[in-house]
Structure 1
Amino acid sequence: MSNPRPQSPNMQNYRPQLTSVMSFGHRLSGSALVFFAFGLSAWLVAGAAGPLVFDDAQAVVHSIAGRVMLILASLAVFYHLCNGIRHLIWDSVHGFELRAIYAGGWAVVGASLFLTSALWIWVLA
């Protein structure tokens, strides 16, 4: 065979679609939530360890990096929640038309960004 066929998926021709990006994002946000759960656990243990340790933990949380991590954690929570609701709708055998799939995908992105923004506007106000 002189010209072998490319293996699937042919990455030179593959263009990510909203559905594949949403699927990857759902897995990524779920994994991030596990990471953030360890951070929450460490913060709770610091609170139980005493005021000096808790003050150090609070300093980390209130740092720029800590706030960025909290914002990313809330985005992961809202994205995973909204996309999970989308999957529950699919489990009821609704929303499988191509137009509905894309509308639902963009609704998840918009809702998770809106909810994250609303939460942080409320927290910082």
Structure 2
Amino acid sequence: MADVNRGNRPLSPFMIGPYYRPQMTSISSIMVRITGIALLGAALLVVWWLLAAATSSSYYDVVNGLLTCWFGDLIMFAATWALWFHVLGMVRHAIWDFGYCIEVAISEKMGWGMFIGASILTVITAIVV
């Protein structure tokens, strides 16, 4: 049967721009996925560093030099932020799994808390380590 209400259906949330206003809950959820992928890349860099250490001292010096220069430090700082954001996202989802804080206003505050909390925890980690 033909769909007679085709034009009356809501548009997809993936049409970000003039048709869809991004919300904190959707942005924070998308960022959890992005940080998960970024953490995989950071883990591969750490594995590369460990393999270089197991291979030879000259190869280790090259890889260690890349990961400890200003750009490597920047990547690891961003990876630390991604790790904290991802952890806070998992905590948020665990809270939701128990049925708490699922109201929209509270969920948006939790999304802001994830961004702010990840930033604060990253700075604390950088100071301590």
- TM-score, normalization: structure 1? 0.88
Runs of 4+ off more than 6 Å? none
**Runs of 5+ unmatched residues, structure 2:** 1-5
The SS at the match of 2:40 is helix
AA aligned opposite 1:12: P
Using the aligned pairs only, state the percent identity.
Answer: 28
For residues 10-49 of structure 1, what are the structure 2 equivalents within 5 Å? 11-49=17-55
AA aligned opposite 1:8: L
- TM-score, normalization: structure 2? 0.85
Q: Cα deviation per residue 1:15-73 (whole Å; 9 max; x = unaligned)?
A: 11101111110110001111111111100000101211111111101112101110111
1:98 counterpart residue number: 104
1:65 counterpart residue number: 71
When the two chains are superposed, the root-mean-square deviation of aligned CA atoms in Å is 1.7
1:84 counterpart residue number: 90
1:114 counterpart residue number: 120
Distance 2:60 2:121 in 1: 29
AA aligned opposite 1:53: Y
**Runs of 5+ unmatched residues, structure 1:** none
Distance 2:61 2:41 in 1: 22
Please state if 1:55 is matched with 2:88: no
Give the total of aligned pairs.
120
Question: What is the deviation of 1:112?
Answer: 0.5
Question: What is the deviation of 1:12?
Answer: 1.7
AA aligned opposite 2:11: S
Distance 2:11 2:113 in 1: 30
Tell me if the contact between 2:35 and 2:82 (Cα under 8 Å) persists in the aligned partners. Answer: yes
The SS at the match of 1:93 is coil
